[in-house]
Each structure stands twice: as structure tokens, then as C-alpha cells.
């Protein structure tokens, strides 16, 4: 089997899903991430059967995969507002269906932010909301679709920035078999995990394995970080131009566990075109690091 890394990026579907697949291939990417719906709202564009069939066929022809879907930023299962939790639960359930329809194995969600309420209460709401959403979309999970909880930077009242918080969620949910994890290199670094050094990254992954099992780690968002280690500030930077820098990113893409996972870029670019260069840079770093 080839030892090459699989690089993808977050690509817009504003002009339809099949078009996005073509764009992904043109940019030289191997895998891709899309929003399930409007990221700052929640409105869902209708998907007709023709578009779905065309998209599935094109993804296969172009050998792009896996397809990773990301819920909108408005999803917050930890919210102290009942309407927000209800909206979030419905969106997660509907988006699991959408993943199933499109052939996407993974739905990435941010665990949530508890605002001024207590973290323990936020975690309880995440646990209840996840179980209900997965139960509402049982058939999709039965067919293999997984919810991936994304590790956050811990900005504001965000929950799910540490291995321990994730372990608590995982330990309390009933839908454990339907849940995996997504790392974000910027978030982990900003939270204070020394993923930029060989020792730091190994220590993090060892602890991850003990508490969560590495078999649940499915996707990595590869981003440089505008802010330093432990700042708990979430701002992505282009590769090599942030605090992780080329050396930190080289360490990440050389790691034998991480380099075999889909590596999705979510770095700020002026034009989607620029993802081609960012992907190339990541591939160079992965080769140098070997
Ligand atoms: Zn995210
Ligand atoms: Zn981020």
C-alpha cells in the first residue's frame, strides 16, 4: 500500500455537490470536507436524487474519499437555551441522514459551549442530545455513519477541548459505538497540547489511546495557529505561517498514527485555488519528515 498521505480541504458546495467534487480533484486533493448546510444559519438546501446520484458517481470516478461533512457553527448541544438544544439535536439527526444519502462516513460536530451555565450541566446536555439525535437517525448509524466530536481550543466556554472532557462524554453516552473523534492541530496546540514536538505529540496520543482509544480517531484538521501554545484562542493560519510553523507541522504529518488519517485543511485562503499549494506544502513536509 502507498505510504502517501491523503490530503483534503474544506470546499464550498455553493454550486452543487457534483461541481464541488470536480473542484476537489482539480485542486489535486484526495479527500474533502463540506458543510452540511449554511454554516452560520441552519437552512438546508434541498438535495434531489439526481444531484445525489451524480455526486456519488463523480466522487467514485475521481476516487475522492472519504467525504467528511461538518455541521453548521450554530449547532450547540451544550447550550442552556432549550430551543438551541432542540434545534441542534434536530440538525444532527437530519445531517446524519444527509451523510448517509451522500455516502459520507463522518459527520463532524463541535461538542458545544455552555455559556454562563456550569460545565457539568453543559456536558449532561451534550450527552442527552447526542443520544437522542443518534436514536432519531438509527438507520444511518446502523449503516456505518459516525458522529465525530471535534477537539476544540477551549475558547470561551467551549466544551471538548481536553481528552478528559471527551472521555467523560464518551463514558456517559449510550450511543458510544456511533461516536469517534476529529483532531484539529490548531485547536490542540492552542489548548496547550505540545503537538508540535515529537515527545509532546506521542504523549498526547498515548493518553488519547488510554482514555478514548485511537481506533476512534478518524479525521485530522490540519491548520497552523495564529496564536501560541495554551492561549485557548481559535484562529487558523496558513501552513508554516503560524505558531506551529513548518517544523511543528512536519512533526504532525510524520507521525505514523496521524499520517494515515484523512488530513483536512481549513486554513484561511484568498481563493479556493490556494488549497492546491497548501496541500502540496503539506505533502512536502510529510516527505521531509520521514
Ligand atoms: Zn470544526
Ligand atoms: Zn478552529
Distance from Cα 223 to the centre of ligand 2, integer Å: 8
Q: Say yes or no to pLDDT of 1 above 60.
A: no
**66 upstream amide cis, omega within 30 of 0:** yes
The model's pTM: 0.97
Residues with a beta carbon under 5 angstroms from ion ligand 2: 234
Q: Say yes or no to pLDDT of 44 above 90.
A: no
51 occurs within a structural domain? no
213 occurs within a structural domain? yes
Q: What is the pLDDT of residues 99-128, one digit of tens each?
A: 999 999 999 999 999 999 999 999 999 999
200 occurs within a structural domain? yes
Distance from Cα 186 to the centre of ligand 1, integer Å: 11
pLDDT averaged over every residue in the chain: 96
C-alpha to C-alpha distance for 276 and 262, rounded to whole angstroms: 16
Look up the domain containing 157 and give its range: 6-41+62-288
Which ligand is nearest to the Cα of residue 185, counting in written order? 2
C-alpha to C-alpha distance for 272 and 275, rounded to whole angstroms: 6
192 occurs within a structural domain? yes
pLDDT at 162: 98
Instruction: Tell me the torsion sign for CA atoms 259, 261, 266, 271.
Output: positive
224 occurs within a structural domain? yes
199 occurs within a structural domain? yes
Which ligand is nearest to the Cα of residue 189, counting in written order? 2
Q: Say yes or no to pLDDT of 290 above 70.
A: no
Mean pLDDT value of segment 257-285:
97
CATH of the domain at 242: 3.20.20.150
pLDDT at 151: 98
46 occurs within a structural domain? no
pLDDT at 282: 98
Q: What is the pLDDT of residues 173-212, one digit of tens each?
A: 999 999 999 999 999 999 999 999 999 999 999 999 999 9
138 occurs within a structural domain? yes
**Number of folded domains that form the chain:** 1
Distance from Cα 80 to the centre of ligand 1, integer Å: 21
pLDDT at 82: 96
Percent of the residues in the chain that have a pLDDT greater than 90, as a whole number: 94
Strand partners, 8: 31, 264
Amino acid at each position: 500500500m502507498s505510504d502517501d498521505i491523503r490530503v483534503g480541504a474544506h470546499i464550498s458546495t455553493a454550486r452543487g455537490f457534483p461541481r464541488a467534487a470536480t473542484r476537489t480533484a482539480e485542486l489535486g486533493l484526495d479527500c474533502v470536507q463540506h458543510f452540511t448546510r449554511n454554516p452560520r444559519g441552519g437552512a438546508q438546501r434541498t438535495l434531489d436524487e439526481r444531484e445525489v446520484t451524480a455526486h456519488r458517481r463523480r466522487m467514485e470516478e475521481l476516487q475522492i474519499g472519504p467525504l467528511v461533512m461538518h455541521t453548521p457553527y450554530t449547532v450547540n448541544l451544550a447550550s442552556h437555551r432549550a430551543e438551541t438544544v432542540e434545534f441542534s439535536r434536530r440538525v444532527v439527526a437530519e445531517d446524519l441522514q444527509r451523510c448517509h444519502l451522500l455516502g459520507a462516513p463522518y459527520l463532524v460536530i463541535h461538542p458545544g459551549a455552555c455559556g454562563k451555565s456550569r460545565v457539568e450541566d453543559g456536558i449532561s446536555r451534550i450527552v442527552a442530545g447526542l443520544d437522542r439525535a443518534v436514536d432519531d437517525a438509527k438507520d444511518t448509524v446502523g449503516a456505518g455513519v459516525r458522529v465525530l466530536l471535534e477537539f476544540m481550543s477551549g475558547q470561551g466556554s467551549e466544551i471538548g477541548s481536553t481528552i478528559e472532557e471527551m472521555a467523560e462524554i464518551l463514558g456517559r453516552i449510550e450511543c458510544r459505538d456511533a461516536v469517534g473523534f476529529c483532531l484539529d492541530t490548531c485547536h490542540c496546540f492552542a489548548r496547550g497540547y505540545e503537538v508540535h514536538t515529537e515527545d509532546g505529540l506521542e504523549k498526547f496520543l498515548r493518553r488519547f489511546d488510554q482514555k478514548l482509544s485511537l481506533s476512534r480517531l478518524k479525521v485530522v484538521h490540519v491548520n497552523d495557529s495564529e496564536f501560541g501554545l495554551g492561549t485557548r484562542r481559535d484562529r487558523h493560519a496558513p501552513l508554516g505561517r503560524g505558531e506551529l510553523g513548518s517544523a511543528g507541522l512536519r512533526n504532525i504529518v510524520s507521525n505514523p498514527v496521524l499520517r494515515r488519517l484523512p488530513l483536512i485543511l481549513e486554513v484561511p485562503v484568498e481563493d479556493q485555488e490556494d488549497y492546491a499549494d497548501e496541500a502540496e506544502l503539506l505533502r512536502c513536509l510529510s516527505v521531509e519528515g520521514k
